[in-house]
A and B are shown apart, each in its own frame.
Chain A
Amino acid sequence: MSGTFVVHVDDVSKTFVSGGKKKQKHVHALENVRFSVSEGEFVTLLGPSGCGKSTLLKIISGLLPPSSGEVQIGVARKEHQPPFGFVFQDSVLLPWRTALDNALFPFEIMGNRQKSDAHHVQELFRLARLNGFENSYPRQLSGGMKQRVAIVRALSYNPPILLMDEPFGALDAITRDNLNNLLLEIWESTRKTVLFVTHSISEAVYLSDRIIVMGTSPGRVLKDLRVNLPRPRSEDTRLAPEFYTLVRELREMLK
């Protein structure tokens, strides 16, 4: 255990058992997955559905136990506070609370809100271009805005690691591109370590420092790929030949 990694996935396998006593079915969702994530890195888990990328994210966050292997988290832990913020595919906002109250919800659960936290959340609202919508209810917000509130909520208690499980998968392509840019802005100003799950190749290339390409049956790592496109990234990045080369390479790999 050295101090260089923030997340270290060490030989993790996961097998789901279904069916009755006689006809047990073993599904190998993950087999011998290993990789590390350094501090401040933006790493994407990319793969087709069924490759176990969401399962892997759940194992990393502790929502699921691995069948074998282990996950080490290399950050200083604060009491009563998870080291992760989690953004799900659906915004999972509480519909009877305003956007601001949703973003402050983690403090209510952890019971350790400081005076500076409200200011921090206010700042995140501004970063997510949600200022003016603090008192709106989720039903009054568009899908993209709801997802932005979810990101603010995940970052409200300032966790060092942000886990995102296909957060923009349910959005239309235009909103998705805009949110990709916004996410990069937020990432650049907060410098979190991000683990991002997606099945969109171009989204993965556009956002990441590294892409962990995963394959199916059993779910496993096919390749750990570094993305050397310059930052900050912009619409020009999407037009660069290097971008296309990477996208094409990944598409070949996932065929």
Chain B
Amino acid sequence: MIPLLSVGFLFLFLGFWQGYIVVREVPAFILPTPGAVGQKFWEMLKTGTLLREGWVTLYTILIGFFTGSALGFVAGYFSSRSRTFEEIISPYVMLIQATPKVSLIPLFVIWFGLGMPSKLLLIVLSAFFPVMVNTILGLRSVPDDYENLMTVLGASERQRVWKMEIPLATPMIMAGLKIAMVQSVIGAIVSEWMAGDRGLGYLLVYGSSLYDANLLMASIFATTFLGLGLYWSIEFLEKKLLFWHESRVAFTEGTG
């Protein structure tokens, strides 16, 4: 019943969209009809434009996201080992976190020019901090008695970290990865506006400069699908890794 209502809501939305254009006589270069946008989307898919530019955006996001998350995890791990180190760097981390990363793009363009390096750097930075902060938080919130258990059993430092601390911190780390993914997608699109010569973000600017509302809206939907797909991949990974976690349990019990 609920999925049916959801689909119904979509048709309602499309109906309003179409109806508004007809009643208010909105010109097509401002707001094209849903049919026209769908047609444009299909056409761009057929010619390969969407796939080609989408692929550029996708792999930029993936490289940046994985690099940034991996560095964030390593940095978070080492900061959590030493409270002194964490206290020394924490104001700077906060400072960089408070800086909207996209404000750095113009600077990156001066340093590295248009194209890939500037884009990647921005995405790496966007993914790095959420993962680092959540890794520290996750590793820090391991209850004392888990540590005591490992001490009683005579666990090595390596066993302590890999068999207990990191698995226990995984819910937090996954939450960080989700934020990092959302930030990476935003970072990629925005950097393609400003520093790109390829990609979905570039397509958006291109459509805007041509006053091609069809192209623009088709590209917006393409970025939506890309973002959704990436977010779902992370959620899927989380579901597999955290089958044991309470947030999952409540869900499965509720439906079962």
Partner-B contacts on A (CB < 8 A): 58, 61-63, 80-82, 84, 86, 88-90, 92, 94-96, 105-106, 108-110, 137-139
Pick from B146, B148, B163, B244: contact of A109, CB below 8 A. Answer: B163
Q: Tell me if B110 is interfacial: C-beta within 8 Å of chain A.
A: no
Interface size on B, residues (CB 8 A): 20
B87 CB, min distance to chain A CBs, angstroms: 15
- Chain B at the A interface: SS class: helix
| B10 within 8 A of partner (CB) | no
A88 adjacent to B244 (CB under 8 Å): no
Residues of B within 8 A of A92 (CB): 143, 145-146, 149
Inter-chain contacts of B148 with A (CB < 8 A): 58, 63, 86, 88
Can you sample 20 A-B contacts with CB below 8 Å? A58-B148, A62-B151, A63-B151, A63-B152, A82-B152, A82-B154, A84-B152, A86-B149, A86-B152, A88-B148, A89-B145, A90-B143, A92-B149, A94-B163, A96-B167, A96-B243, A105-B153, A108-B163, A110-B154, A139-B246
Q: Does B94 contact A (CB under 8 A)?
A: no
The answer to whether B249 and A94 touch across the interface, beta carbons within 8 angstroms, is: no
Q: How many angstroms between the C-alpha atoms of A80 and B155 in the bound complex?
A: 10
Residues A95 and B159 in contact, CB atoms below 8 Å apart: no
Q: Which residues of B contact A58 (CB under 8 A)?
A: 148
Task: Please tell me which one of the listed residues A62, A94, A110 contacts residue B164 in the complex, with CB atoms under 8 A apart.
Answer: A94
Complex alpha-carbon distance, A90 and B245, angstroms: 17
Q: Is the CB of B151 within 8 A of A106?
A: no
Chain A at the B interface: mostly helix, strand, loop or mixed? loop
Give min CB distance, B47 to chain A, whole Å: 48
Q: Which residues of chain B have a CB within 8 Å of any CB of chain A?
A: 143, 145-146, 148-155, 159, 163-164, 167, 243-246, 249
B236 to chain A, nearest CB (A): 17
In the complex formed, the residue of A with least CB distance to B249 is A139
Docked Cα-Cα span, A237 to B159, in Å, equals 45
Q: Which residues of A sit under 8 angstroms from B153, Cβ to Cβ? A: 82, 105-106, 109-110
Inter-chain CB contacts under 8 Å: number: 50
A95→B145 contact, CB < 8 A? no
Name which residue of chain B comes closest to A84, CB basis: B152
A109-B163, A138-B244 known; 20 new pairs, CB 8 Å cut-off, are A61-B152, A63-B148, A63-B151, A63-B152, A82-B153, A82-B154, A84-B152, A86-B152, A88-B148, A88-B149, A94-B164, A94-B167, A95-B244, A96-B243, A96-B244, A109-B155, A109-B159, A110-B154, A137-B244, A139-B246
**Do the beta carbons of B167 and A90 come within 8 Å of each other?**
no
Q: How far is it, in angstroms, between the C-alpha of A94 and the C-alpha of B149 when the chains are bound?
A: 11
In the complex, which residues of chain B have a beta carbon less than 8 angstroms from the beta carbon of A88?
Answer: 145, 148-149
Chain A residues positioned under 8 Å from B167 (CB to CB): 94, 96
Least CB distance from A111 to B in Å reads 9
Q: For B249, what are the chain A residues with a Cβ–Cβ distance below 8 Å?
A: 139
A90 touches B145 (CB 8 A): yes
How many angstroms from the CA of A88 to the CA of B152 in the assembled complex? 11
Lowest 8 CB-CB distances: which A-B pairs, in order? Answer: A96-B244, A88-B145, A95-B244, A109-B153, A86-B152, A92-B145, A109-B155, A139-B249
Provide the bound-state CA to CA distance between A109 and B243, in Å: 23
What's the Cα separation between A90 and B164 when bound, in Å? 16
Query: Residue on A with the closest CB to B156?
Result: A109
Q: Contacts of A108 on B, CB cut-off 8 Å?
A: 163
Q: Which of B145, B155, B243 has the most CB of A within 10 A?
A: B145
List, in ascending order, chain B residues with CB within 8 A of A105's CB.
Answer: 153
A204 and B190 CA atoms in complex are apart in Å by: 67
Determine how close the nearest CB of chain A comes to the CB of B181; give it in whole angstroms: 23
Contact A109 B145 (CB under 8 A): no
Q: When chains A and B are docked, how far (Å) is the Cα of A61 from the Cα of B145? A: 13
Q: Nearest Cβ distance between residue A226 and chain B, in whole angstroms? A: 29
Please report the C-alpha to C-alpha distance between residue A88 and residue B150 in the assembled complex, in whole angstroms: 12
Q: Closest residue of chain B to A91, judged by CB?
A: B145
- B150 in complex: contacting residue of A62, A81, A109, A139, CB < 8 Å: A109
**Considering the chains assembled together, what is the distance between the CA atoms of A96 and B169 in angstroms?**
12
Query: Which residues of chain B come closer than 8 Å to A61, judged between CB atoms?
Result: 152
Q: How far is the CB of B160 from chain A (nearest CB, A)?
A: 9
- A110 and B243 CA atoms in complex are apart in Å by 27
Q: Are A109 and B154 in contact (CB under 8 A)?
A: yes
Contact residues in A for B150 (Cβ distance below 8 Å): 109
